[in-house]
Amino acid sequence: MLMFTFRRFLQLIPVFFGATLLVYFLVFATPGDPIAALSGGKPMAPAVEAALRAQYNLDQPFWVQYGLYLKNLVTLNLGQTFSGQDVSAVIARAYPVTARLAIMALTFEAVFGILFGVIAGLRKGKFFDSTVLVASLVVIAVPTFVLGFVLQLVVGVKLGWARPTVSGSAPWNELILPALVLGLVSLAYVIRLTRTSVGENMNADYVRTATAKGLSRRRVVVVHILRNSLIPVVTFLGADLGSLMGGAIVTEGIFNVPGIGNLLYKAIQKGESATVVAVVGILVIVFVVANLVVDLLYAWLDPRIRYV
């Protein structure tokens, strides 16, 4: 298993370089001159313009720019934003907020998703099952920004139960509403996945055996059915964690959360390659690690799966 983990980390290297190169190129190829945008369409003294261009290596051809970026990266220098701040500092500010939001959303969708999914799966065709199915269908069908704006207006403005936006330090309690919005769609998927999976496993041979052995209903459900049903759910949650950590541009925008999604959006608008590449690089690592954890969890959930 150590070998397996090690190999997976080795895979990280080509993935990381491939992704950063690609993203760097995409930002480079985006039409529009970032320095012209910086001046806001106003005249800029030619000397100032040239100096700024040189400062961000924008006067160099693509390969030189990317090479210089990699050179800095080796020394853990992520470069600077157009406003002269260190990209590492900017990310360090935004990341904890996004991580907090992602963990809350993930906890919410995992706990309630699995709970509702199991109940619905065990009582297939009954009232609870049908209600959950319809509700989850509605949630999946409605775009996140609609959910976001509606909840913000109703809970935040009309009822006044929560602040409609998140204040600067983004404390846990203010993140509840955005986390709900963020987790709601995935919640619906988790419910459906769990429900189907539980439903299938209920008729499996080992479940019949376990029941025949005289095990309690509770033990059959929790140990035999649930554990085996979790594999697809965990796969989904792992991938979801990756995308949640990537910052939810829409949700963070609606609730003014100073997270990584907002940061990325602004950086793309400005054509600030240093920031975009750094954020995407981190996201790549998060994705790979999350998937690795998921793979390792398989072995724990299903003893038949082993990694050598």
Report the interface residues with other proteins, using CB under 8 A.
31-34, 36-48, 50-52, 55, 82-85, 90, 93-94, 149, 152-153, 156-157, 160, 163-165, 167-169, 252-256, 258, 262-263, 265-266, 269-271
Joined tokens for residue 111: 């706990």
Q: Cβ of residue 184: shortest distance to other proteins, in angstroms?
A: 19
Q: Cβ of residue 68: shortest distance to other proteins, in angstroms?
A: 19
- Closest to other proteins by CB, 55 vs 216, is 55
- Biggest distance spanned by C-alpha atoms of the chain: 85
Q: Cβ of residue 48: shortest distance to other proteins, in angstroms?
A: 5
- Closest to other proteins by CB, 93 vs 100, is 93
d(CA 172, CA 175): 5
- Closest to other proteins by CB, 250 vs 292, is 250
From the list 285, 288, 292, the residue with the least C-alpha distance to 95 is 285
Q: Is 100 exposed, middle or buried (0-12, 13-18, 19+ CB in 10 A)?
A: middle
Q: Cβ of residue 47: shortest distance to other proteins, in angstroms?
A: 4
- Closest to other proteins by CB, 42 vs 213, is 42
Contact call for residues 242 and 293 (beta carbons, < 8 A): no
- Closest to other proteins by CB, 117 vs 247, is 247
- Residues β-bridged to residue 86: 80
Q: Cβ of residue 31: shortest distance to other proteins, in angstroms?
A: 4
Q: How far is CA 240 from CA 92, 109, 187, in A?
A: 22, 10, 11
